[in-house]
């Protein structure tokens, strides 16, 4: 079997599986060594295919959609904003501000649950840290990912109802 055909078949097998697919199962199916499977998976990852290794085998991460939300609020509403996003199925990938002198300043977040929101808020409080939004008097943006466009639309509506969303 040609390498490109095998790569596509490996992707198809993993993406259509309802659970993890072991390297052993893949090597038997395609009559190659496990080392070849490891190399093939590395090639797929290099092509930005979202495949991850777990202790039970390989899985495909579902494709997520992203949207940038422009927001404004004071620090006392940070938790409310973040909970609104995660409650609608969103993952807050980052926060960024556009500073007049420094340009775009970004912090990775990857927050997708109320538990993580609480941990983040507690961390700011315990470390007496200032949120990035202090640099721009509360104006900031979040890149948010979700499973569907409908989830992102729900997030947008929630932020609008809270008067946090900044309309263009």
Band of residue 55 on the pLDDT scale cut at 50, 70, 90: confident
Higher pLDDT, 56 or 153: 153
The CATH number for 73's domain is: 3.30.1340.20
The CATH number for 26's domain is: 1.10.10.10
The reply to whether 18 and 99 lie within a common domain is no
pLDDT in tens, 105-134: 999 998 999 999 999 999 999 999 999 999
The reply to whether 98 and 143 lie within a common domain is yes
Residues annotated within a binding site for Ni(2+): 73, 81, 140, 142
The reply to whether 78 and 147 lie within a common domain is yes
Residue 166 lies in a domain: no
Band of residue 38 on the pLDDT scale cut at 50, 70, 90: very high
Residues annotated within a binding site: 73, 81, 140, 142
Q: What is the pLDDT of residue 36?
A: 96
SS (H, E, C) the chain: CCHHHHHHHHHHHHHHCCCCECHHHHHHHHCCCHHHHHHHHHHHHHCCCCEEEECCEEEECCCCEEEEEEEECCHHHHHHHHHHHHHCCCEEEEEEEEECCCEEEEEEEEECCHHHHHHHHHHHHHCCCCCHHHHHCCEEEEEEEECCHHHHHHHHHHHHHCCCECCC
The reply to whether 82 and 157 lie within a common domain is yes
The reply to whether 75 and 157 lie within a common domain is yes
Band of residue 19 on the pLDDT scale cut at 50, 70, 90: confident
Distances (CA, A) of 128 to 4, 48, 103, 125: 53, 38, 25, 5
What is the CB-side half-sphere exposure of residue 138 using CA atoms within 13 A? 12
The reply to whether 23 and 78 lie within a common domain is no
Residue 168 lies in a domain: no
The reply to whether 12 and 87 lie within a common domain is no
Task: Indicate whether 25 pLDDT > 90.
Answer: yes
Band of residue 54 on the pLDDT scale cut at 50, 70, 90: confident
Residue 167 lies in a domain: no
The reply to whether 52 and 88 lie within a common domain is no
The reply to whether 69 and 50 lie within a common domain is no
The mean per-residue pLDDT over the stretch 11-37 comes to 94
Q: Which one of 40, 60, 80 terminates a domain?
A: 60
The reply to whether 39 and 112 lie within a common domain is no
Task: Indicate whether 74 pLDDT > 80.
Answer: yes
The reply to whether 7 and 70 lie within a common domain is no
Phi, psi at 148, each rounded to 5°: -150, 160
pLDDT in tens, 75-91: 999 999 999 999 999 99
Range of the domain at 38: 3-60
The reply to whether 69 and 24 lie within a common domain is no
């Amino acid at each position: 079997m040609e390498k490109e055909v095998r790569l596509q078949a490996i992707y198809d097998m993993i993406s259509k599986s309802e659970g993890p697919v072991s390297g052993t199962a893949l090597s038997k199916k395609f009559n190659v060594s496990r080392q070849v499977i490891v190399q093939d998976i590395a090639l797929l990852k290099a092509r930005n295919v979202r495949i991850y290794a777990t202790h039970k085998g390989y899985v495909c991460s579902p494709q997520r959609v992203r949207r940038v939300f422009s927001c404004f609020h004071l620090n006392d509403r940070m938790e409310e904003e973040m909970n609104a996003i995660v409650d609608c199925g969103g993952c807050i990938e980052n926060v960024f501000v556009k500073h007049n002198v420094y340009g775009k300043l970004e912090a990775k977040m990857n927050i997708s649950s109320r538990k993580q929101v609480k941990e983040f808020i507690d961390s700011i409080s315990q470390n007496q840290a200032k949120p990035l939004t202090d640099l721009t008097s509360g104006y900031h943006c979040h890149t948010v990912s979700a499973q569907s466009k409908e989830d992102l639309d729900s997030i947008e509506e929630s932020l609008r109802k809270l008067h946090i969303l900044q309309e263009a």
